A and B are shown apart, each in its own frame.
Chain A
Amino acid sequence: MNRAGRGAATGAGMRVTRALLLLAVVLPLAACAWFPMEKEPPYRLVLSWGGLGETPGRFNEPTGIAVHAGEVFVSDARNARIQVFDFEGRFLRQFGTPGEGPGQLGRPMNLTIAGGELYVADYWNDRIQVYSLAGEFRRSVGESGSGPGQFDAPGGVAVAGNGDLFVADFYNQRVQRLRPDGRFVRQWGETRRPGWRAGYFSYPTDVAVAGDGSLYVADGYNDRVQVFAADGRLLRKWGGPFALNIHGSFRGWFATVTSIALGPGGEVFVADFYNDRVQKFTSQGEFLTAFGSAPSGASHTAMAVAVAADGTVFVANLDAHRVERWQQPVATR
């Protein structure tokens, strides 16, 4: 081989070597980022209650859940009511009837409690309904449509420190911020245009607001979580490689996100519907642990999630028509 040929061969060899070195660096990084290890022990199921039915204490598709001061509020969707229990699963009260009138419910979905009031995403009636915690109807926000302050199937609602509402506007492919009386402030996402790029949504299902005002969005069919700063900037997103609508069952990946809740330390709990689990992350999106029940029917179990002040997690199990209480094992020496 002459000098030129030997030089070309050496150059090619160098390129291969560089590519292999690059892969050796990138692959472990990708493995760490996309296939994280568990950093906490999984939660264990300590109690469940309910079952299919119409009588008090039974459910026909529980789709939303919220907790406050020792009480659990559950959206009982096909029974068009909200049921309230204590933490031991004892029935306390119920309110709501099927219909479109004030206080009546279409399909109640994700719930939020703020300022001593219960906020219900009324999916069929395109509005947010507000009740006292005793169940008295207070007011309604929004109407059908795709204009500012209007909704097409709101899936979830969160309340900021100043009383502003954030609403996951499912079919309008956006999240809206509204004043407490329903006046439009701003929106994220493009109305009725689903998208996978950063800041766009594909059927957003739920929202949660942290103490610092940052907004967490369950970006339903994009299989990811997006987080926005109080000033509206996108801070981060996670869920599968690059959070680009790649679904899967690995840790930290999702297969349709249906609910999101924040823990007492700012941890993020995400209902990962088709994977039948709740996943727990740090506020930065670092995977911590996952837990859930296997389905026994044709549906799936992890529909909605809520976290109590002591860290106890409550899950609306759609498939079994039950509410589940999960707790982290107490650390032992």
Chain B
Amino acid sequence: MAYVSNMVLEVFTVAIWEKKSMLWCSCLMPVLLWWSTEAWAGGVQYELRVDGLACPFCSYGIEKKFKKTPGVTGIEFDLERGLVIVRTAEGVELSEERLQQIVADSGFTLRGVKRRLLESP
């Protein structure tokens, strides 16, 4: 739902901007901004599939790099499924390239990413 909201927000903003209607802009922007904030309120959860997490030198290395990444609020490991679960604060998105870079800096290869918007608390 939140993802759809963001898509709608983007389409609306572009449409309004292209028509150059300042009235529309001034009326709708606050509403759209509020909508946008609501849609992102709970942050994002990323499930990163990474091989070789069992070794603490590896998992602590990933944890260390993500701890230094602004906006990251939590990191967990699911060794059974080979997943690093990263949560971000509201309004913070990490691009796949950024995730790939952090995982590569930790000495791993990112095998896949699942992204899920979190409900606001």
Please report A residues at the B interface, Cβ cutoff 8 Å: 61, 63, 77, 106-107, 109, 123-124, 153, 155, 170-171, 203, 205, 220-221, 256, 258, 273-274, 297-300, 303, 318
Give chain A residues whose Cβ lies under 8 Å from the Cβ of B80.
298
B64:A63 contact, CB within 8 angstroms? no
Q: How many residues of B contact A (CB 8 A)?
A: 12
Q: Interface code B54-81, partner A: CB below 8 Å = 1, 0 otherwise?
A: 1111001101100100000000000110
CB neighbours (8 Å) of A61 from chain B are: 56
Contacts of B57 in A (CB 8 A): 109, 123, 153, 155, 170, 203, 205, 220, 258
Chain A residues, CB < 8 A from B112: none
List which B32-72 residues lie within 8 A (CB) of chain A.
Answer: 54-57, 60-61, 63-64, 67
- The majority secondary structure among interface residues of chain A is loop
B74-95 CB mask vs A (1 if < 8 Å, else 0) is 0000011000000000000000
**Hey, which chain A residues are within 8 Å of B107, CB to CB?**
171, 203, 221
Cα(A274)–Cα(B53), bound, Å: 11
Residue of A nearest to B54 (CB): A299
* Complex contact A318–B56 (CB within 8 A): yes
Contact of A63 among B56, B63, B67, B79 (CB under 8 A): B56
Residues of B within 8 A of A124 (CB): 60, 64, 67
Given A77-B56, A203-B107; 5 other pairs, CB 8 A cutoff: A123-B57, A298-B54, A299-B79, A300-B54, A300-B55
Q: How far is the CB of A319 from chain B (nearest CB, A)?
A: 8
Q: Which 9 A-B pairs have the closest CB atoms?
A: A298-B79, A107-B60, A298-B80, A299-B54, A63-B56, A124-B64, A300-B54, A256-B55, A123-B60
Chain B proximity of A223: nearest CB distance (Å): 12
Query: If A123-B64, A221-B107 touch, does A274 touch B56 (CB 8 Å cutoff)?
Result: no
Bound complex: CA A153 to CA B60 (Å):
9
Chain A residues positioned under 8 Å from B64 (CB to CB): 106-107, 123-124, 153
Contact between chains at B61 and A153 (CB < 8 Å) = yes
Shortest C-beta distance, B42 to chain A (Å), equals: 26
Please tell me if the beta carbons of B54 and A107 are within 8 angstroms of each other in the complex: no
15 A–B contacts from the bound complex (CB under 8 Å): A106-B64, A107-B63, A109-B57, A123-B57, A124-B60, A124-B64, A153-B64, A171-B107, A220-B57, A221-B107, A297-B79, A299-B79, A300-B54, A300-B55, A303-B56
